[in-house]
Amino acid sequence: MQSRLEEGKDPAGTRATPSRPFPLRLLQFFLLFLVIGLGASFVSMYMIRHFGIHNMALVQSTFSPCFEQPAATVESWIRPPFSLLHTMNDTELFWRASFAPRIKSYPFKRTGKIAFMFLTKGPLPMAPLWEKFFEGHERLYSIYIHSLPSYTADFAPSSVFHGRQIPSQVAEWGMMSMCDAERRLLANALLDISNEWFILLSESCIPLQNFSIVYLYISRSRYSFMGAFDEPGPYGRGRYDENMAPEINMSDWRKGSQWFEINRELAIRIVEDSTYYPKLKEFCIPHKCYVDEHYFQTMLTINTPHLLANRSLTYVDWSRGGAHPATFGKDDIKEEFFKKILEDQSCLYNNQPSSLCFLFARKFAPSALDPLLDIAPKALGI
C-alpha cells in the first residue's frame, strides 16, 4: 500500500505539478511580428521625413494594377512641345535633341515639316511678308526664333511668330557663340519629331518663292544645301591652323555660307558633335578665322560629303565688295531686280541642270518692307 502511494498521486493533492515549457513556435511568430512592425514603422517615418507622405492611402493610390494599360502612348512621344520655353542648358538640350530612332520607318502617319529658324538680334522687320508666305500651310512648317536674351517680342497672339522664341544667349559675329546659337536653334527644332528639314534665316531674309514651291523643292531634293568649298588663298586655306589636326587636316578644310538648309540626319550630326567643336573653338578665332564659315561646312564634308549639294539656297550680293554683302532698301525693290535674281541663274538640282537656284535672299533693310508687300503677289507669287 505504501509503495503504491509513493508511485501514484498524492491523495491529499499536496504534490506540486511541474510547469510546461513556453511553445517555441509561438515565440518565433511573436518575434517575426515584432520585426515586421518595427520595419513598417521605420519605413513610414522615412517616407514622411523625405517625401512628405502622411497618409499611406496616398502611397497605395500611386500604384496601378499590373493589368492596366500604361498611360504613355506613341502620341505622347511624338507630340511637339506645347511651349518652346524650358530650363535645359545647352548640354542637356543637345543630349535630348540627339535622340534618334534606329528603325527608320515610322509606326504612324508622318508628314515632314520645314523648320524655319530665324537667327536675329531683335525684331523681325520682314514679319508681315513672312506671314503672307506661311498663310494656309500651318501643318507643313514650324518657326523658331533665337534673339538677344534681353529682347522681348511683341507679336500679336494671332501671329505665326507669337510664342516662337527659344531660350537664347548672346551670339557674337565671327565667334563660336554664333555657331552655338545655330546649334541651339537646331536642337530646339529637333524636339519636334515632325521637323524633317531645317532652314537658317536672318531678320533681313525674304522668301523668293511661294510656300508650295519652297516645300516641294526642299522635300524632293536628295541633298542638303550647304556650300562647302576648298578655297585657296588667305580667306580659305589661309585660315586653317595645323593645331586642328589630326581631327581636321588641310585637305578637309572647307569654307561656305553661314545660311543653310539641311535634313534631320545632318541636324543631329551637328547637335551631337564633340569632336570638331573644341578644335574650331580654340583655333578658329577672329580676325584670323570666322568659325561660322567653316565649322559645319568642314565637319559635314568629312562625314557626309555625299549628302551635300554644295551650294546655298539664299541669294547674297557680294558684288559691292567689303566684309559684308549688299543691303537692299526701298529703292532697289523693282521687278527688274527680282528678274535678275530669279532668271539669270544656273545650278544643279538632283544632279540635273536647273534655273531655279535660290529660294531666299538677303540682306533687306526695314525700309524695303512696304514695296516688297506691294510687289510680292506679282514678282514672288506670294
pTM for this model (two decimals):
0.79
What is the rounded CA–CA span in Å between residue 331 and residue 147?
28
C-alpha cell at 97: 535633341
Q: How far is residue 29 CA from its own chain's centroid?
A: 60
Q: pLDDT by residue (tens digit) across 266-321?
A: 999 999 999 999 999 999 998 899 999 999 999 999 999 999 999 999 999 987 77
How many CB atoms are located within 10 Å of the residue 103 CB? 6
* Residues 192, 142 contacting (CB under 8 angstroms): yes
Contact (Cβ atoms closer than 8 angstroms) between residue 217 and residue 223? no
In the predicted structure, residue 3 carries a pLDDT above the cut 50: no
User: Residue 181: pLDDT band by 50, 70, 90 thresholds?
Assistant: very high
| Window from 52-56, 199-203, 371-375 with minimum mean pLDDT | 52-56
Please say if the pLDDT value at position 223 is more than 70: yes
